[in-house]
Amino acid sequence: MDVEEYTHEDIKIVQKIMTNALTRDNQDELQEFLKGELSYFRFPQDPLHEKTLREVSSQSHRELTIKNNAVLRLLAIRDILKGYVTAYKTENGGEYLREVTPKITDQVGSQGAKYLPYHSDMGYLRFSEETNHANKCRAPDYLSLTCIRNSEKVGTFVLDIDIIKEKMGNSFNFLKRNWFSFQSPDSVKPIKKYKSKPIVFSNNGVDLMRWEKCLPSSLEGAEVYTTLYKLLENIDLGENIILKPGETLVFNNRRCLHGRKAIKSLKAVDEPRLLFRVYVNNFPQPAGLPEDELFYRQEG
Ligand SMILES: O=C(O)CCC(=O)C(=O)O
Ligand SMILES: [Fe+2]
């Protein structure tokens, strides 16, 4: 499914319905979020319930189903963020729309049911501000998660960078040193040794953070790494956001980490939790490139 399949008019209709559903407080909060002052925004439950979908379909060029309504909602949020949807060649088969649903697997990840510790998505990639090269892929700036089903009431935990800062005290600044090495996922194989990077990158006084499959690359980094690692073992440090069907959680992938507790009830439900996920970046990405042609070769 391509983003281009959805017409501008269809997206506008859904965007209008979404913004009309926001209270004054919601609107203020959204503005703070857009300015980067809050790590997440939770869009209220979609007013387009199943029965009204048909009604709105008549104004639109296509029939609205639960699925394409959810996609339109995600594209409307992209427009609210004034951003661009990002697909990564080595992630989700290059498709921009990811169905996040737990499966019984030994692998730890958003598609499993095991405990998913705090992380940022694609944390091994550069922040946009870290490179001047327009042809380099960057980590997602935002994640949008629209809930389709969540009968198990599984939460997404969001941990704001300010809490990490407060808990780490003076040692937080050591996260800004080039003392850490990030590892790519199994789907990409490095062909060059990756340079050491900071976990926290300061950009014009704004601290951006990433954390995913990371190890200290020097003895100096070991202590602060261990402090952070131990801190992040406590998932309850963040906020637990239990999405209801029709709600969308948008979070800033650079000012918070996210995770999830293990999903224990997986075998007991016929239709497990389902979220639709889209990555949004402030600037368009080089289409179809692997994360970094210079450093990575795709497996297989
Ligand atoms: O399942 C969740 O709540 C979080 C999933 C996740 O980490 C992701 O989609 O990147
Ligand atoms: Fe994630």
The pLDDT tens digits of the residues spanning 56-76 come to 666 666 666 788 889 999 999
Ligand 2 midpoint to CA 123 (Å): 10
- Dihedral in degrees, nearest 10, Cα atoms 149, 52, 247, 128: 110
Give 53's pLDDT tier (boundaries 50, 70, 90). Answer: low
Structure tokens at 102: 């737990």
Q: Which residue has the higher pLDDT, 186 or 197?
A: 197
User: How large a percentage of the chain has pLDDT more than 70?
Assistant: 85
Residue boundaries of the structural domains of the chain: 3-298
Helices (H), the chain: 8-20, 24-34, 50-57, 66-80, 161-168, 219-232
Ligand 2 midpoint to CA 125 (Å): 14
The C-alpha atoms of residue 254 and residue 164 are separated, in whole angstroms, by 13
Length of the chain: 300
DSSP tag of 145: E
Atom of ligand 1 nearest to the CA of 100: 9
pLDDT tops 60 at residue 299: no
The pLDDT tens digits of the residues spanning 21-48 come to 999 999 999 999 999 999 999 999 887 7
Closest residue to atom 5 of ligand 1, CA basis: 110
Closest residue to atom 1 of ligand 1, CA basis: 110
What contacts 246, CB < 8 A, 6 or more positions away? 45, 46, 48, 49, 146, 147
Q: What is the pLDDT of residue 300?
A: 38
Ligand 2 midpoint to CA 39 (Å): 14
Report, as an integer, the average pLDDT of 190-208: 86
Q: Reduced to 3 states, what is the DSSP secondary structure of residue 193?
A: coil
Which residues does ligand 1 sit against, CB inside 6 Å? 100, 110, 116, 121, 156, 258, 260, 277
Architecture of domain 3-298: 4-Layer Sandwich (3.60)
DSSP tag of 286: P
| Amino acid type, 243 | L
Q: What is the pLDDT of residue 26?
A: 97
Q: Which residue has the higher pLDDT, 99 or 4?
A: 99
Q: Which residue has the higher pLDDT, 63 or 12?
A: 12
The C-alpha atoms of residue 173 and residue 38 are separated, in whole angstroms, by 21
What residues pair up with 145 in beta bridges, in sequence order?
249, 277
Predicted TM-score (pTM) of the model is 0.91
The dihedral built from the CA positions of residue 132, 138, 141 and 146, taken in this order, carries a sign that is positive
Half-sphere exposure for 249 (CA within 13 Å, toward CB):
21
The C-alpha atoms of residue 149 and residue 274 are separated, in whole angstroms, by 5
Structure tokens at 94: 């290059």
Atom of ligand 1 nearest to the CA of 157: 3
Least confident range of 102-106, 119-123, 286-290: 286-290
